[in-house]
């Protein structure tokens, strides 16, 4: 073996593609750790790591200080807001990601969460199990206006699927040119407009910004269904919980919560009295066989390239 690759992703290698075998054939031994990225846990592993295939946990300057041998970080996923890119660049450590590998998977999961919340499926399931076969009125997606925040790969796939359902779609992304062909079928708007026009808003923007907060919720002119398969910090969770109790949020459906990275014991959105309005999954939107295999293949190929001193296919600008 010529080196050690640290892996801190739960789903790495869980599909049909075997990235560990590829790394072993290239001469690298894989060492696995938990996905939390706790410094105490990772310190002895980072000390020997030549490469790091990182999940969604934080990759900070403090982590990099513990990794004197590190020659590359392959982010197993698309978003790199969890990686201190400046700290990596300062230490001469290149970073890669896996753009597009999981886009379809996350877009499909977004629609699954949206429809689950829209039709009240978890509550309906609990009622049947309790012997209650009563129904409740719902809405059809084709009758609704849906706002999409963030029009990158995933956001665009979500708009395609929403339009296939017959929904009216508004798109908000200040970085997309107004002349983009997307706006021939999707109405261009800003996030403030979404609060007064939309029945549903789904988030696909990078983290590090607050899109849904008390002010935005107060401006909404109807109970809104919120979907978040992007980053927990896009949402003020306390404000959403309060709004849900007041009936200002019809439902919140998410694949991420702040407690995933903060380590807090509880989330305001997991309170028992909100069970009928909140649907949450464990950050598994990307974890289809196809998505996992795509991310594994791209991350592994780039990691081998980095460790051999070659240019990776998917570099992230510093």
Q: 26: helix, coil or strand?
A: coil
Catalytic residue among 63, 156, 260, 277, which? 260
Residues ≥6 apart with Cβ < 8 Å to 62: 39
Catalytic residue among 231, 237, 277, 314, which? 231
Nearest alpha-carbon partner for 315 in 91, 152, 72, 103: 72
Nearest alpha-carbon partner for 274 in 314, 313, 244, 238: 244
Active site residue 160: no
Identify the DSSP state of 32. Answer: E
- The DSSP-derived string for 185-199 is TSEE--HHHHHHH-S
Active site residue 63: no
How far, in Å, CA of 31 to CA of 306, rounded? 18
Catalytic residue among 63, 109, 204, 283, which? 283
Active site residue 41: no
Task: Enumerate the β-bridge partners of residue 202.
Answer: 148, 227
- The DSSP-derived string for 51-65 is EEEE-SS-B-HHHHH
Catalytically active residues are 231, 260, 283
């Amino acid at each position: 073996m010529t080196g050690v690759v640290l892996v801190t992703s739960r789903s790495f290698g869980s599909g049909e593609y075997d990235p560990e075998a590829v790394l072993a054939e290239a001469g690298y031994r894989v060492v696995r750790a938990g996905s939390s990225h706790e410094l105490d846990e990772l310190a002895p592993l980072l000390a020997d790591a030549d490469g790091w295939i990182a999940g969604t946990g934080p990759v900070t300057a403090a982590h990099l200080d513990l990794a004197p041998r590190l020659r590359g970080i392959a982010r197993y996923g698309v978003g790199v807001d969890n990686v201190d890119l400046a700290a990596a660049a300062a230490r001469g450590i290149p970073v890669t990601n896996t753009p597009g590998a999981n886009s379809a998977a996350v877009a499909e999961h977004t629609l699954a969460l949206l429809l689950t919340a829209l039709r009240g499926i978890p509550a309906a399931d609990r009622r049947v199990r309790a012997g209650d076969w009563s129904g409740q009125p719902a809405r059809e997606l084709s009758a609704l206006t849906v706002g999409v925040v963030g029009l990158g790969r995933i956001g665009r796939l979500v708009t395609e699927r929403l339009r296939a359902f017959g929904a009216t779609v508004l798109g908000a992304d200040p970085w997309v040119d107004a002349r983009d062909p997307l706006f021939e079928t999707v109405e261009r708007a800003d996030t403030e407009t979404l609060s007064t026009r939309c029945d549903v808003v789904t988030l696909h923007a990078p983290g590090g910004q607050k899109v849904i907060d008390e002010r935005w919720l107060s401006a909404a002119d109807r109970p809104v269904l919120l979907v978040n398969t992007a980053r927990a910090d896009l949402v003020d969770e306390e404000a959403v919980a309060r709004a849900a109790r007041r009936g200002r949020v019809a439902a919140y459906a998410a694949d991420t919560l702040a407690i995933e990275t903060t380590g807090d014991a509880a989330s305001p959105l997991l309170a028992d009295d909100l069970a009928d309005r909140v649907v949450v999954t464990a950050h598994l939107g990307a974890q289809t066989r196809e998505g996992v295999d795509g991310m594994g293949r791209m991350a592994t190929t780039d990691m081998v390239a980095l460790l051999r001193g070659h240019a990776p296919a998917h570099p992230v600008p510093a």
